[in-house]
Amino acid sequence: MKLNPAMAATFAPPVMEARRWLSEVTIPADLPLINVSQAAPVDPPPEGLRRAIAEAALSLPEAHLYGPVLGNDDLRQAVAQEFSRAYGGAIGARNVAITQGCNQAFCATMATLAGAGDDVILPTPWYFNHKMWLDMQGVTTQPLSCGPDMLPDPERAAAMIGPRTRAIVLVTPNNPSGAEYPAELVARFFDLCQRHGLALVVDETYRDFDSRDGAPHDLLARTDWDGTLIQLYSFSKAYRLTGHRVGALIASVARMAEIEKFLDTIAISPSQLGQIGALWGMQNLGDWLAGERAEILARRQATEQAITALDGWVLKSAGAYFAWVQHPSARSSADLARDMVGQIGVLALPGTMFTPDGDPVGQQHMRLAFANIDRAEITELAERLAQIRA
């Protein structure tokens, strides 16, 4: 079988691998599965949003046709207005592209920035789909190890920049660690990228669940932001639209011309019904989303308290949907995570799925995605994890 070598060398999708464990391992009958493996809503959108999609499907002929490659004008304008308001900047609809999910926003962005032989700096632990896309394209990933506080160091990044470096990627709140990057830290990375003529790609998929009030950074308020910054966003987490695949990216008007080339060859246009749902959510679900945020923050607090009380387990960081924890076992997290399904009925992702091969940090840690379990289940999770010993 003939294969693209770069594709063949790319690791398999981690979430799909973890799901296969469920069919390969017998879960104890008295321990209902606690699934903390995937960071996506499992409940449907609110009824009003579903009705808006249903009515559009029935009454709008254009909802079933190709739309503009960069997304519908009304949604692009709404995104521009919201990000201008939230970040104190002046963003126009021409600075916005709507994509088939935030993963596509990342892929489109990277397609305009880097080709085979170039390199991109990713803090570790990293979001595995970012690494997978770069591997598929023959782009070298430069791993920037985070410190004990789970924050990346701009000075360490500066020492890694070479002639083929094209971008630095930050994910905040972070997947998988949950760490919220301080505004001052994000600004230092912006200044670093600006000095070296690099792009700073900021993925804020989980911005709606940031624990801080106000703008998490001031970059979009700078008059020269579009020469350096590319910002990514997802509607999937905010409005439970994972199945409709709606994301967004904000960048310079000049880059949008290149983004359009990529999107036209991949999907032609984003989902019409998904865009209609996202716009309805932006216009009608502000209070509902605030309630969702409050519940996620409460689950974060419950997770922090539960893990901190566990003997042998160390909570390194928590935020948005995630907790990044050090486990007490001498075994690699890759083996431990699989065994946990059959032993204690818990499905979680090992840290090895978020780090380079052989990295001891990955072997010692796990990601717990707590957003889809309530506080009683968080307590039960901790009780089961307490059974894990060195």
Instruction: Count the neighbouring beta carbons within 10 Å of the beta carbon of residue 182.
Output: 14
Measured between alpha carbons, how far is 98 from 96 in angstroms, rounded to an integer? 7
Residue 17 in domain:
yes
Q: Are residues 230 and 186 in the same domain?
A: yes
Residue ending a domain, choose from 285, 315, 334: 285
Q: Are residues 195 and 267 in the same domain?
A: yes
Q: Is residue 301 located within the same domain as residue 334?
A: yes
Average pLDDT estimate for 89-118: 96
Chain centre to alpha carbon of residue 296? 16
What CA–CA distances, in Å, run from 369 to 129, 179, 280, 299, 373?
16, 13, 28, 10, 9
Assigned domain for 390 exists: no
Work out the angle at residue 300's Cα, subtended by the Cα atoms of residues 15 and 245, and round it to the nearest 5 degrees. 40
Predicted pLDDT of residue 310: 94
- The model's pTM: 0.94
Q: Residue 360: which CATH number?
A: 3.90.1150.10
Q: Mean pLDDT over all residues of the chain?
A: 95
| Single-letter residue type at 263 | L
Whether residue 342 is contained in a domain is answered as yes
Residue 376 resides in a domain: yes
- Give per-residue pLDDT as tens, 22-52: 888 888 888 899 999 988 888 899 999 999 9
Which structure tokens are listed for 174?
């972070």
CA-based nearest residue to 77, from 272, 278, 262, 239: 278
Binned at pLDDT 50, 70 and 90, residue 287 comes out as very high
Q: Give the tens place of pLDDT for each residue, 225-284.
A: 999 999 999 999 999 999 999 999 999 999 999 999 999 999 999 999 999 999 999 999
Place of tokens 């983004």: 259
Please check whether residue 345 lies inside any domain of the structure. yes
**Same domain, yes or no, for 262 and 310?**
no
167 and 30 together in one domain: no
CA dihedral 42, 43, 46, 51 (to 10 degrees): 90
Contact 103, 270 (CB under 8 A): no
Residue 222 and residue 205 share a domain? yes
What CATH number is associated with residue 269?
3.40.640.10
Domain boundary among the residues 251, 266, 285 is at 285
| pLDDT tens sequence across 296-343 | 999 999 999 999 999 999 999 999 999 999 999 999 999 999 999 999
Are 167 and 295 part of one and the same domain? no
Task: Kindly state whether residues 160 and 73 are assigned to the same domain.
Answer: yes
Quick one: 23 and 94 in the same domain?
Answer: no
Q: Phi, psi at residue 352, to the nearest 5°?
A: -65, -20
Query: What residues make up the domain containing 187?
Result: 47-285
Q: Is 184 exposed, middle or buried (0-12, 13-18, 19+ CB in 10 A)?
A: exposed
DSSP for 149-198? TS---HHHHHHH--TTEEEEEEESS-TTT-PPPPHHHHHHHHHHHHHHT-
Q: Give the C-alpha separation, 285 to 235, whole Å.
A: 12
**How many structural domains comprise the chain?**
2
- One domain, residues 181 and 249: yes
Q: How far apart are CA 21 and CA 327, in angstroms?
A: 20
